[in-house]
Amino acid sequence: MTSAKLTVSALAVIAATASVAHAREQIQVSGSSTVLPYSTIAAEAFSENTDFPTPVIESGGSSAGLQKFCQGVGENTVDIANASRPIRESEIETCRANGVTDIIEVQIGYDGIVFASDIEGPDFEFTPADWYNALAAEVVVDGEIAANPYTRWNQIRPELPDQAILAFVPGTKHGTREVFEEKVIADGCEESGASDAFTAARGEDGADACTVLRTDGRSVDIDGDYTETLARIQSDKDGIGVFGLSFYENNTDKLKVGTISGVTPSTETIASGEYPVSRPLYFYLKKAHIGTIPGLKEFAEFFVSDAVAGPSGPLAQYGLVADPELAQVQQTVADEATMQ
Amino acid sequence: MPVFWIVSIVLVLAVAGYVAAKARVLKLAGGDSRRLHSRHVYYGWYGALLVATPALLVLAAWMAAQPVVIDRGIAADLPPSVMREGVNPAIVVQDVRRTATALSQGLREGVLTRTDLADAAAQAETLRPRLTEAGIRLPPAASEPAMLGAGGEYRARQVAGHWAMTGVVLLLAVGGLVLGHRQSQPQTRARNLVERFVKAALITCSSIAILTTAGIVLSMVFESAQFFRQYAWTDFFFGTTWSPRFGGGSQLGILPLLWGTLYISAIALVVAVPIGLFAAIYMSEYASNRVRSFVKPTIEVLAGIPTIVYGLFALMTVGPMLRDWFAQPLGLGSSGSSVMTAGLVMGIMLIPFVSSLSDDIINAVPQSLRDGALGLGSTQSETVRKVVLPAALPGIVGAVLLAASRAIGETMIVVMGAGAAAKMDLNPFEAMTTITVKIVSQLTGDTDFNSAETLVAFALGLSLFVITLILNIVALYVVRKYREQYE
Amino acid sequence: MTDLSASGAARKSSLVTLDDRTRRRNAAERRFRAYGVAAIATAALALAILLVTIVGNGVGAFRQTFVTIPVTLDAQQLDPAGNRDRGEMSGVLTLAYGGLLNQSLRQSIEGAGIEVEGLTDRDIDDLISKDAPAQIRNRVLANPDLVGQTVEVAVLTNGRVDGYYKGRVSLASAANDGNTSPQQLALADALKERGLLATKWNWAFLTNPDASDQRPEAAGVGIAILGSLYMMLVVLFLAVPIGVAASIYLEEFAPKNRLTDVIEVNIANLAAVPSIVFGILGLAAFINFAGLPQSAPIVGGLVLVLMTLPTIIISTRAALKAVPPSIRDAALGVGASRMQTVFHHVLPLALPGILTGTIIGLAQALGETAPLLLIGMVAFVRNFPAAPPEGLFDPASALPVQVYNWTQRADPAFFERASGAIIVLLVLLLCMNLLAIYLRRRFERRW
């Protein structure tokens, strides 16, 4: 009767384990994988310099993180949600319905988005219009709307290198894709005058066609992460990838970055607003958990302190563009000022 | 008394029940086990079950229920000074619980005494510094003396509940022991009773599978319904474009994903089934025992390599190779990621699913069948093809189905090998993607979690569930029809 | 084989000489055999390629570069109050320790008479891992009496210098690299010449917790190994008995009717459910409904139990089905009850097959990441979980999760560590397989 014995011992184990109902000591964070590296650097330094345990930081995307965040209050819900986009109205409503009413929004800085190609390849000096013309499904050729005919970069603009068009752009799940479409493709569409042509030909909503990307294999969606993009560039040297600034800065020996409208991306040019493509990064904090989860407020304050999130702190060293208005953010955390 | 000890005591009593019952019936039968209804061990088992089952069941139920009951009770009895205005009651109860834990810890470490705990609220001022000094952290809300009082009360109820539980459980165990002793009569149909119990346990275990299914359906059906409120079902099931957009206006047709899923799985099976089956046949019919006992686990390692390794292999090696050697010379495109890449690499991963399971099945075909066929003069391969394989068919189909299931559920290899672009194309050197990949990516993405773009993951999951269900029903029917039952 | 005998009647030749037909049949036989060998060779080749790649990439993770320098633990900086009180000394942050280390390194460089052209202060400071100050701080806080003494310490160098000695970084690539410079590498070479810097075996990879993105050199799989073991414990204790029990019922006792058909299809279908869906279920059932904690191995284990059950049930049923009916008939014939027949005769004979299914199921569970994504186990965890059973409720990571996390990180040094973690995973798997081989040998028989 081995199975009976096994069942009894299994029962014993369940019984032994079910007895443990202890209070959670560590801070629980979930959310965006873009914020994850910064969050881990801050968490590591936080636990090194305080007596609190290291916060546990999950990754799983802004959406899943906020969904967990809005699940309710109490020990078995997360305290902080990292997000690479602001929380949406409908999500706040779900939060409220589940009793998560007081949410503190903390903007930790900006994530720069850069275009980089293999280090052996030629230099690229892009304009948003180049990107639009290279990747949009429909472009304007000689005043006529046509399916994208370009196959090489120098067909778009003779100054660009003679290299086949192949771009690895973030998949439609990534927040980066949204920024890429809005700040590069749509801007380029505007700049090149194509958006006017669309509006003229198709009416009000015509300009929506601006951000529809071509599907003939020259624009490749990457649903994975930047390491996948890098691997693809290494296996296909013609490729140009969309990366986060921090990823590029850690791989400058393999990648060469392109400029946008003559500006080279760096933490300085992004902070000053010269380099156009960036997005803010946030974390959201449950006010109700301050005081009940040990070290929660201390962690938030530590995270946004000048020594950590400031321009010379470890986060900026890793590639975070420090928030020029960090002092204001620090005040928000200190005051526990919630969103409206 | 820690629960571990309670369980141990119950188990010790169960062993005692076993020994006592066995000894008693043997004695009553005058040492002649032929005069018993069942073999004597069954009386022992029966005695042990009578002790352990009710006691452990009650223990488990009590432990699940006690925290809930105490939380409810304490929430109702909290003084108004603790129930702060505008603070979620759940948080307050949590603070009370944390205070109680801190107090218990203080007691355990000898910082506090039982008398301190009795009226913690009154002695709040002296208790707090003592705890802090010992390095025990109180929640900030415990600055309110009433909170300490509530914590003390909470602890008192916990302790009372725990002792009540200990009492009840041990009483039940002892009761079981007595009952077992009484029922240990030679005419008791102990075997039937024990077997009835075992059968009930077996049925419970099988019902877990049903519960899982119910759970899966339940955990997806509400979100799916919400999705279909936002997005027309006709567009979802018959749409041929998959292009989620952040700003709305997404097209979320399942067909290109379904096509990709079937295409990639089919290629993977075309690779895995012949290789796996031939490997299995060779291992069980030709190879010596030593070779087999070495080769089989070696191949099984393939199933254990994390899929991310296969993914990187597909991305860095197989993808470019297929592109440069096949796709470009044949004029079939220049995509580094393709259905073929993912299919091939996934096929390799699936080999052990087919080979190991089939090997076991083939090995279990009775030797007499082989001897018969060989004795009639057929060669070994003829024996295998005409006799052994048909006999092993149902099991082999099961193995292939399992492999197919894994192929459908795989993400990493597809993402890295076949890409993330949803497309409907016959060209095997094009990038395509599967339903599972999109479930994962939409769930772990950055889109609004209430939007159709995220909720579609649930609808995709449910649809895939239904599709595989249909495939499985068909497979069951086919197996029934062609099954050859020998002996 | 009627056609065979028909043609055999027409055969005139002797049995000793081969005729065409026999030759054909023998050729077919040889071909068939060759297919088998080819199939096994293909599988073995694929395995060899994968293993060589993994080991080639990952073996470096077990070695690490250290620099050995004497550090003067300046009492004024580390213990301003001068009373060696641990509580007050913990007020001194890692920043101060970092300063001390840099100072000591500079002194040793001067002392050794190393001069590298164009070497900047930053090159020197960055040579030491960012994890080193924390190491020293912990050491000092654990033993406050060290303050004021000069101690010899071996601290980690940064990931790039380490990579230089593993062939990942070259002087040429360093010129383009924002995180190191050719001068820094030259300094490292000079230190190595003088025996101050060495690449050594690194146990810490197996015992350290994960580290943040800036410190690949300090990251280890300690917590991940524990987390995986805890989950395997849960799977072993629950999935195997439940799976075997369910299969026994379905195969041996259940009446063959609609209901059992439903259950059978149902289980086959569960095997095809993508693993992330089990994560959805786990989040809904175990965390949101049952209130179990986030990121805990118990939840991960339960999810993996549900996920592996179908695999175990399907293979166990196949194994039970393969036991010839004659065995059952014989047992029943001598008066055994059905329960006795199954437990005493059928089950032992089916054991090899059950083991195979269990191993494949466990291997799958051991390597799975997706279902853990939603229940919070794909996480950065640095505090070790307690011993079981309490530890099952503490946050932990898992080996495949660590691999997944590390392959996503920007610093290329993490790729090596990911491969190292895969090696650890494979070693665990091999141990499980060895056990299975042993058990299979003991129980396998033919009839």
Q: For residues C68 and C190, state if they share a domain.
A: yes
Q: Is the pLDDT of residue B218 over 70?
A: yes
Q: A298 and chain C: CB distance < 8 Å anywhere?
A: no
**CA–CA separation, B107 and C338 (whole Å):** 56
Mean pLDDT in chain A? 86
Q: Is the ipTM of this complex over 0.95?
A: no
CA R_g for chain A: 24
CB B95 within 8 A of CB B178: no
CB A74 within 8 A of CB C293: no
Question: On the CB side of A282, how many CA atoms lie within 13 Å of its CA?
Answer: 21
The pLDDT of residue A20 is: 44
Q: Is the pLDDT of residue A304 over 90?
A: yes
Task: Select from A1, A75, A208 the Cβ nearest to the Cβ of B94.
Answer: A75
Q: For residues C400 and C273, state if they share a domain.
A: yes
Q: For residues C421 and C290, state if they share a domain.
A: yes
Mean pLDDT throughout C59-77? 86
Q: For residues C41 and C72, state if they share a domain.
A: no
Q: Judge: B306–C400 Cβ closer than 8 Å, yes or no.
A: yes
Q: Judge: C380–A60 Cβ closer than 8 Å, yes or no.
A: no
Q: For residues C51 and C109, state if they share a domain.
A: no
Q: Judge: B334–A94 Cβ closer than 8 Å, yes or no.
A: no
Confidence of residue C349 (pLDDT cuts 50, 70, 90): confident
Q: B15 and chain A: CB distance < 8 Å anywhere?
A: no
Mean pLDDT throughout C2-27? 68
* Domain range for C24: 16-58
CB contacts < 8 A, B to C, total: 308
Exposed/middle/buried for residue C166 (C-beta within 10 Å: 0-12, 13-18, 19+)? middle
Q: B441 and chain A: CB distance < 8 Å anywhere?
A: yes
Contacts of B67 (CB under 8 A, 6+ apart): A21
Q: C49 and chain B: CB distance < 8 Å anywhere?
A: yes
Question: Residue A259 in 3-state DSSP?
Answer: strand
The pLDDT of residue A19 is: 42
Mean pLDDT in chain C? 86
Q: For residues C310 and C431, state if they share a domain.
A: yes
Mean pLDDT throughout C306-318? 88
Percent of chain C, pLDDT > 70? 96
pTM of the model: 0.88
Domain count, chain C: 3
Contacts of B150 (CB under 8 A, 6+ apart): B74, B78, B79, B82, B96, B99, B121
The pLDDT of residue A263 is: 92
Architecture of domain A112-278: 3-Layer(aba) Sandwich (3.40)
CB contacts < 8 A, A to C, total: 155
Extents of the domains making up chain A: 25-111+279-335, 112-278
Between B197 and B393, whose confidence is greater?
B197
Q: Is the pLDDT of residue A16 over 50?
A: no
Residue with tokens 């292939």: B400
Report if residue C7 sits inside a domain: no
Task: Identify any residues that bridge with A109 across adjacent strands, giving them in sequence order.
Answer: A281, A322
Helix (H), strand (E), coil (C) string for A106-123? EEEEEEEEEEEEECCCCC
Residue with tokens 């020994």: B19
In chain C, what residues touch B314 (CB-CB under 8 Å)? none
Q: Is the pLDDT of residue B115 over 70?
A: yes
Query: Is the bond leading into B244 cis (omega within 30 degrees of zero)?
Result: no
The pLDDT of residue B258 is: 93
Q: Is the pLDDT of residue C39 over 70?
A: yes
The pLDDT of residue C328 is: 92
Q: Judge: B282–C50 Cβ closer than 8 Å, yes or no.
A: no
pLDDT tens sequence across B137-184? 777 777 777 888 888 888 888 889 999 999 999 999 999 999 988 888
CB C297 within 8 A of CB C234: yes
In chain B, what residues touch A22 (CB-CB under 8 Å)? 101
Report if residue C209 sits inside a domain: no
Mutation target to probe the B interface, by most B beta carbons within 10 A, among A82, A90, A181, A223 is A223
pLDDT tens sequence across A209-240? 888 888 888 888 888 888 889 988 988 888 99
CB A45 within 8 A of CB A308: yes
The pLDDT of residue A1 is: 40
Query: C237: domain CATH number?
Result: 1.10.3720.10
Mean pLDDT throughout C185-194? 89
pLDDT tens sequence across C199-258? 888 888 999 899 988 888 889 999 999 999 999 989 988 999 999 999 999 888 888 888
The pLDDT of residue B170 is: 93
Confidence of residue B84 (pLDDT cuts 50, 70, 90): low
**CA–CA separation, A144 and A141 (whole Å):** 5
Question: On the CB side of C190, how many CA atoms lie within 13 Å of its CA?
Answer: 19
Mean pLDDT in chain B? 86
Q: Judge: C376–A119 Cβ closer than 8 Å, yes or no.
A: no
Report if residue C326 sits inside a domain: yes
Report if residue C25 sits inside a domain: yes
Name the CATH superfamily housing domain A25-111+279-335: Periplasmic binding protein-like II (3.40.190.10)
Residue with tokens 């046949």: B281
Both structure tokens of C83? 């009373």
Q: For residues C281 and C299, state if they share a domain.
A: yes
CA distance B133 to chain A (A): 14
Provide the chain B residues 69-128 that lie in CB contact (below 8 A) with chain A: 87-88, 90-91, 94-95, 97-98, 101
Q: Chains with 3 or more CB pairs closer than 8 angstroms to C?
A: A, B
Q: Would you list the DSSP string of B332-360?
A: S---SS-HHHHHHHHHHHHHHHHHHHHHH
Q: Lowest-pLDDT range, A6-10, B338-342, B436-440? A: A6-10
Q: For residues C163 and C271, state if they share a domain.
A: no
Q: Would you list the DSSP string of C75-139?
A: HHHH-TTSS--HHHHTTS-HHHHHHHHHHHHHHHHHHHT---TT--HHHHHHHB-TTHHHHHHHH
In chain B, what residues touch C33 (CB-CB under 8 Å)? 282, 286, 380-381
Q: For residues C268 and C335, state if they share a domain.
A: yes
Between C225 and C16, whose confidence is greater?
C225
Q: Judge: C214–A45 Cβ closer than 8 Å, yes or no.
A: no
Report if residue C90 sits inside a domain: yes
Report if residue C217 sits inside a domain: no
In chain B, the domains with their CATH numbers are 3-188 (no CATH), 231-482 (1.10.3720.10)
Contacts of B186 (CB under 8 A, 6+ apart): B25, B28, B29, B35, B36, B37
Mean pLDDT throughout B392-404? 85
Confidence of residue B460 (pLDDT cuts 50, 70, 90): very high
Both structure tokens of A261? 């409208």
Report if residue C302 sits inside a domain: yes
Q: For residues C230 and C373, state if they share a domain.
A: yes
Q: For residues C48 and C162, state if they share a domain.
A: no
Q: For residues C47 and C121, state if they share a domain.
A: no
